[in-house]
Structure 1
Amino acid sequence: MSDRDGLKPLTELCTADIRNTWYVRIDRQTGEERPVTVEDHYAEIERYPLHDQVPDRIATQYDVARNLYLYAWFEYRFFNIAEAQVLTVLELAMRERIGEDEIKRYIKRRNDEHKAKTGKKGGLRNGMKTLMQYCRDHQLIRNEGFSAWHRNAKQIAYNKADTERRQWAIAELKRTGKSQIALPEVDIDTLPPDPDYDYVELLVDNLNQLRNHYSHGSTMLHNQVLDNFEMVSEFINQVFEDHALTKEKVR
């Protein structure tokens, strides 16, 4: 039996891919379940637009990725095509924002610094990781501009607070000789994000690997791609927001 999906039958063109019907939404208050709908699917991707400051040619390519995600409701394999597209658009946006002449100057300076320090020829290339390093070094992107940083940094802060309260409880049990003790509550909503968590550096070190994986051909199949739409939209919005402010100051 073939594992090929084949061409979708014309009569099923606007029918939801059966793999999208396996998921449900659960009401946290009542515990009731309901099937995920196309309206849910649309609302998920609608949340991640680009700002008006982003050039139309970038926004158009980004919306190609969003529409691929949208039509993944009917063809499940579009999820990963959408993710590949949105990562390609990120590189396109960085090149547009930085400019080829500027990135060449940046690469030359970095390679010259490397040679002066080590005596060896620098190997920095004009690729996605270098573009991200430029954005990091010139503060076109910041941790605070990413929702994932706020979520993850708070979770890390919670983990630290949880470890500290357990250590306190163990010490208190030893000091008092009690057999049990109530742990104090940790309110994650009142915890500030952990300043030591560097989400930007995580992106710089790892994101190009995923993009390269797609670029070299991939059979990866999953639907967990929304986080990268969130990240890319926030990344692009940050770099062009900075650009718009700079142009406004020049005026």
Structure 2
Amino acid sequence: MSVDALKPLDQVLTPDSRWTQGYNLTLEEHHAGIAEFELHTQVPEEVRQHFENARNTWLYAFFEYRLLSVSLLMLLVSCEAALKFRAKQEKRFKKNDGFQKLMNTAISERWLLDAHFSATLKIQAWRWERDRETAIDMDQPDPGPWKPSEDAQTIARWAAWFFPKLRNEAAHGGTFLHPNASRHFRVVSELINQLFPPT
């Protein structure tokens, strides 16, 4: 693996070629893609600041591609900060509770439900409609339109398993790059927004 050294001063604002060649992405498109992930105003300021740190680092990755790994770490920090804040609000936080324990608490307390994760809903709706069309084509009764389950926690449990592992890898010297950061930002932003529902 080659090292991406400190850029010369006269190249600081030169787009990293891995964006412009690999993805043919402009700075305007990059910014617009990041701007779509937001936290609502009920989310505490300290949590929102961690999330903004992640978004800004992702933005500047346009000029230094490897900042993506820093952005992802900051995103997971915002997730843990949100979980800790909510656990303290609910008097469910203990001094040594780490990311994994906080995620498990969010699952058991049902602070996180699949009905509030857009990616899950889209996949489930697509599968339902596909199976519905098949049933109709086979002259079987129409099962009707898809209705999301209010109780499911499939993606919530996946996040509870995956995000602490990913954060630990990043925090302990992992050198991963996830070029499609939008998937992680979508899940984390929707997770945090669930923790602090609008009143």
User: Which runs of 5 or more residues in structure 2 are unaligned?
Assistant: none
The structure whose Rg is larger is 1
- Helix, strand or coil for the counterpart of 2:62? coil
Does residue 140 of the first structure (1) align with residue 111 of the second (2)? yes
| Number of equivalent positions | 192
Q: What is the distance in 1 between the residues matched to 2:42 and 2:94? A: 25
- Aligned residue runs from structure 1 range 139-218, under 5 A: 139-158=110-129, 160-161=131-132, 168=138, 191-192=145-146, 195=149, 198-218=154-174
Contact 2:112/2:195, CA 8 A, preserved across alignment: yes
**Which residue does 2:193 correspond to in 1?**
237
Identity of aligned residues (%): 30
Amino acid at match of 1:7: L
**Which residue does 1:103 correspond to in 2?**
93
Q: C-alpha deviations, 1:59-106, integer Å up to 9, x for none?
A: 11110100000001000001121011101110011111111952239x
Amino acid at match of 1:135: A
Q: What is the distance in 2 between the residues matched to 1:161 and 1:142? A: 24
RMSD: 2.6
Q: What is the distance in 1 between the residues matched to 2:82 and 2:166? A: 17
Pair 1:239–1:7, CA change in 2 (3 A): same
How far is the alpha carbon of 1:207 from its aligned partner? 2.2
Q: Which has the higher contact order (CA 8 A, sep 6+)?
A: 2
Q: What is the distance in 1 between the residues matched to 2:48 and 2:180? A: 22
Amino acid at match of 1:200: A
Does residue 88 of the first structure (1) align with residue 59 of the second (2)? no
How far is the alpha carbon of 1:23 from its aligned partner? 4.0
Q: What is the distance in 2 between the residues matched to 1:220 and 1:63? A: 21
Q: What is the distance in 1 between the residues matched to 2:153 and 2:98? A: 25
Contact 1:158/1:191, CA 8 A, preserved across alignment: yes
**Which residue does 2:8 correspond to in 1?**
9
Q: What is the distance in 1 between the residues matched to 2:97 and 2:153? A: 27
Pair 1:97–1:194, CA change in 2 (3 A): closer
1:38 corresponds, among 27, 42, 51, to: 27
Relative to the length of structure 2, the TM-score reads 0.84
**Which residue does 2:102 correspond to in 1?**
131
